[in-house]
Structure 1
Amino acid sequence: MKISAAATALALSVSFSAAQAETLNVGMSGGYFPFTFVKLDKLQGFEVDFVNAIAAETGDEVNFVTMSFSGLIGALEIGRIDTIANQITITPEREAKFAFSQAYVFDGAQVVVKAGNEDTIASVEDLSGKTVAVNLGSNFEQLLNELPNAGEIDIRTYESNIAQDTALGRVDAFVMDRVSSGQLIAESPLPLALAGKSFSQIRNALPFRNDDSGVELRNKIDAAIVTLKENGTLTEISEKWFGTDITVAE
């Protein structure tokens, strides 16, 4: 059977594309609804859809690696994973260590309290004398420590049960990003409520190791993010999970 030149060219193109495909090892906790969580034994969420959309643009395969949030940064540093998709906030300390993609989520830190206690914490000044929980390994502990009244706040770090302990009154409040807080309150049976307005705008991005290969990968991913923003895919993913576009700065 004679093979046409066009068919040969197509086969070579497919073969070349397959040869260029890489496996992108992406770390996430799998326990941060609605960004990354497991339901019916399936890993899903905003971050999962986002990374899969990136891979569709770059032609790479994705291997999601789940672990506790506090272990993600260390896994990236030793090369177990290539990046982290778990609402990693850009901070000066992290920028000094990692090569970040452009920001793809814009949010703010939010205080959450037991429902009925909203009036007790109208602003961050009201956190003085309070016990305030944050997730271990998150940037919210640093944000609280930078407040003028930080010395008057009893900051406690949690691996889990942060919302439950707040609802039970074991701590006065916890701090999380406003988008996640709103989703958590909407989905959880626990009596929780937002207290005051969000503070300290945060930008979330994908971190990569700050070496030649890490920067090269970051640049490739960045180009894909630009495409996803321009063609509306990123907005569609955001509206699917949040009903609004959290991917643009207010």
Structure 2
Amino acid sequence: MELKKMGTLAAVLSLAGALLAGCGSAEEKATSDSGAEIVKVALSDEVNPPFLYTDDKNNPVGYDIDYLEEVEKKLDGKYEFDYQFGEEEGNLIGVSTNKFDFAINWFFKNPEREAKFLYGNPEYGYSMTALITRQDTDDIKTFEDLQGKKLAPMAPSGGLRTILNSYNEKNPDKAVEIETIEHPSNADNLKGLAEGKYDAVFLNVSTFDAVQKELNLDIKVGGIVSKEPVYIVYNKQNEELQKDINKATKELQEDGTLSELAEKWFDVDFFQDLNYINQEQYKFDGK
């Protein structure tokens, strides 16, 4: 009987070992024909030009893609990025469950996400925010200039609202009055601005450019008021991948490659400070 029990136990242990070995092999990273590790990259199908959009053949293009291609070159064949489109929140769930290795799409830092994911360090670019005004308005360039002016309504939450709330908390004597609506329309707000209903609209520059190309209104960027760093978001198991891309990103900043890409896609080097960005020669007018 004792021998039979020992034999059964050995069989169970052997089966468990086989199952664990199978699981281990399933977790192994796929490699390309050249031997590069294939990295699954989640792209948002809610495109955001010029950071990310698709060309007429439905291929991903934009600043994000150019940046990742430069990263691949810097890492000299160690990784090959496999791009997959999906809904943004679904992409983040996919990163957390290791369906994807990382996601890229204009991600800002917040405490909730920092508890769940690894962030790239340093940032790979910036989202510039601006006060949009009519062409004949020259006295609204900063939040301080909104005293006595009417700002277009904003959503109760989100990155833009957080920026304004932070400004108001730090400057209670010069706080900006904010009208809140649940789902503001950027197009309607910009039309209202052009018609004189509002004095300014607070928007990301890239969002303004995209809408302005469609509407062609008599409006402009009055002033860039902030540049918000954007990051890659990684599954927490991908520390080696994160460190490798961090190193490549830092080198791309230092050798001027990312500044060149910023100039290519945004017509300005957003790695410079706000004074530089707001110089007279830099006009973001939806061209």
- Provide the TM-score with structure 2 as the length reference: 0.62
Letter in 2 for 1:79: N
| 2:100 paired with 1:84 | no
Partner of 2:223 in structure 1?
A: 197
Larger radius of gyration: 2
Match for 2:38 among 5, 12, 22?
22
Matched, 1:65 2:107: no
Aligned counterpart, 1:55: 72
3-state DSSP class of the match of 1:87? strand
C-alpha contact (below 8 Å) 2:152/2:189 kept by paired residues: no
Aligned length: 229
Q: In the alignment, is residue 226 of structure 1 matched against residue 246 of structure 2? A: no
Give, in whole Å, the separation in 1 of the partners of 2:253 and 2:230: 15
Aligned partners of 1:72 and 1:118: how far apart in 2? 41
Using a 3 Å threshold, how does the CA distance of structure 1 residues 237 and 116 change in structure 2: closer, same or farther? closer
CA distance in 2, matches of 1:249, 1:119: 21
Partners of 1:42 and 1:153 lie apart in 2 by: 39
1:242 partner letter: F
Q: Report the alpha carbon displacement of residue 124 of structure 1 after superposing the two structures with TM.
A: 3.2
Give yes or no for the alignment of 1:246 onto 2:246.
no
Partner secondary structure for residue 86 of structure 1: strand
CA 1:30–1:162 in structure 2 vs 1: closer, same or farther (change >3 Å)? same
Distance 2:81 2:128 in 1: 29
Q: 1:92 to 1:98 in 2, by over 3 A?
A: same
Q: How far did 1:186 drift?
A: 6.7
Specify the alignment match of 1:111 in structure 2.
131
Report the 3-state secondary structure (helix = DSSP H, G, I; strand = E; otherwise coil) of the residue aligned with 1:197: strand
The 2-side partners of 1:196 and 1:162 are apart by 20
1:153 equivalent among 170, 174, 178: 178
CA offset digits 1:29-87 (Å, max 9, x no partner) = 45211111123133211111111222233332222233444554444334343323222
How far apart in 1 are the matches of 2:37 and 2:182? Answer: 40
* Contact 2:140–2:223 under 8 Å retained in 1: no
Provide the aligned C-alpha RMSD in A.
Answer: 3.8
Distance in 1, Cα, partners of 2:97 & 2:74: 27
Equivalent in the alignment of 1:140: 160
1:166 aligns with 2:186: no
Check conservation: 1:185, 1:192, Cα contact below 8 A.
no
CA shift in 2, pair 1:247/1:122, >3 Å: closer
Residue number among 152, 177, 182 corresponding to 2:204 in the alignment: 177
SS at match of 1:32: coil
Distance 1:29 1:176 in 2: 21
Deviation at 1:208, TM superposition (A): 1.7
Partner of 1:4: none
Contiguous gaps of at least 5 residues in structure 2: 1-30, 275-287
Tell me which residue corresponds to 1:5: none
Please list the CA deviations of residues 202-245 of structure 1 after superposition, one character each: whole Å capped at 9, or x if unmatched: 21221223x2x232221111122123234443233222222332
In the alignment, the residues of structure 1 paired with residue 219 and residue 270 of structure 2 have an alpha-carbon distance, to the nearest angstrom, of 20
1:28/1:64 contact within 8 Å kept = no
CA contact (8 A) 1:34 1:183 kept: no
Tell me whether 230-239 or 166-175 shows the greater mean CA deviation. Answer: 166-175
Partner SS for 1:22: strand
Task: Tell me the CA shift for residue 168 of structure 1.
Answer: 3.0
Alpha carbons 2:43, 2:103 under 8 Å: kept: yes
Structure 1 47/199 Cα, relative in aligned 2: closer, same or farther at 3 Å?
same
Q: Compared with structure 1, are the counterparts of its residues 80 and 139 closer, same or farther at alpha carbon in structure 2 (3 Å cutoff)? A: farther
Counterpart of 1:6? none
